[in-house]
Amino acid sequence: MKPRCAGFTLIEVLVALVLLTLFTVVTFRALDAVLKSQRHATAEMQRWHELAIAFAWMDSDLSNAVVRPDPLVPLGGAFHTQLETDGAMQFDLVRLLPEDADQGLQRIGYRCTGGRLARLVWPDADNPLVAPRNSALLDGLSSCAFRYLDERGQWLPVWLSQTGKPFPRAVELSIGAADGTPIRRVLRVQ
């Protein structure tokens, strides 16, 4: 009797290599899909986090607004808006600061221009003519606009102080995300 050699034939080895290659390709594609989903979810979470921060800043500033007439514009009221010919929109107001702040008051503003929402902070609450520090809250927007709610429930593109009503009831921020998703937030003033 002849001893039989133990081992694999060439065909068996090739079939095993083909199966291993197929398994590796399928596993790689599945892992790639998971990693792409994770990157997309992380980017989406970052976008919503930035939106939440911007809304929190605006909510805090608007809820702490105080009536303090502008010394340079005595009849102008405490809430100023601008609508420029290039479509840029801005509003500013004076707000109370926390008890531990130096001055107690601060002039704050928000500006929508060129796909960007920025928060403006003036170094001196009494002098709105000094250039403010400009901090971007949201960048890469497809649109950005403000509207102001008056006492009759009408939305206005520009706020003009009314007798006894220095502030609008609410400010609406309408933005379009970079992907075109419309986002609308209404924030109560005071």
Show me where the domains of the chain are located. Answer: 60-188
Q: Dig out the tokens for 117 from the structure.
A: 């929402």
- The per-residue pLDDT for 129 is 78
- The per-residue pLDDT for 54 is 95
- The per-residue pLDDT for 75 is 47
Long-range contacts of 183-190 (CB under 8 A, 24+ apart): 183/51, 185/55, 185/58, 186/149, 187/55, 187/58, 187/59, 187/62, 188/62, 188/63, 189/62, 189/63, 189/65, 189/79, 190/62, 190/63, 190/65
pTM confidence score: 0.78
- The per-residue pLDDT for 1 is 60
Q: 32 φ, ψ to 5°?
A: -60, -40
Dist CA 164 CA 148 (whole Å)? 16
Half-sphere exposure of 85 (CA within 13 A, CB side): 0
Nearest to residue 81, comparing CAs of 14, 152, 183, 171? Answer: 171
Q: 109 φ, ψ to 5°?
A: -150, 165
- The per-residue pLDDT for 36 is 94
Q: Dig out the tokens for 32 from the structure.
A: 């790639």
Q: pLDDT by residue for the chain (190 residues), tens digit each?
A: 666 777 888 898 999 999 999 999 999 999 999 999 999 999 889 989 999 999 999 999 999 998 875 555 554 457 888 888 888 999 999 888 866 555 688 889 999 998 999 999 988 877 777 889 999 999 999 999 999 999 889 999 998 876 568 899 999 999 998 888 899 999 999 7
- The per-residue pLDDT for 66 is 87
Q: Which residues pair with 176 in a beta bridge?
A: 143, 182
List alpha helices for the chain, DSSP H. 10-63
Q: Are strands 155-156 and 143-149 parallel, antiparallel or unpaired?
A: antiparallel
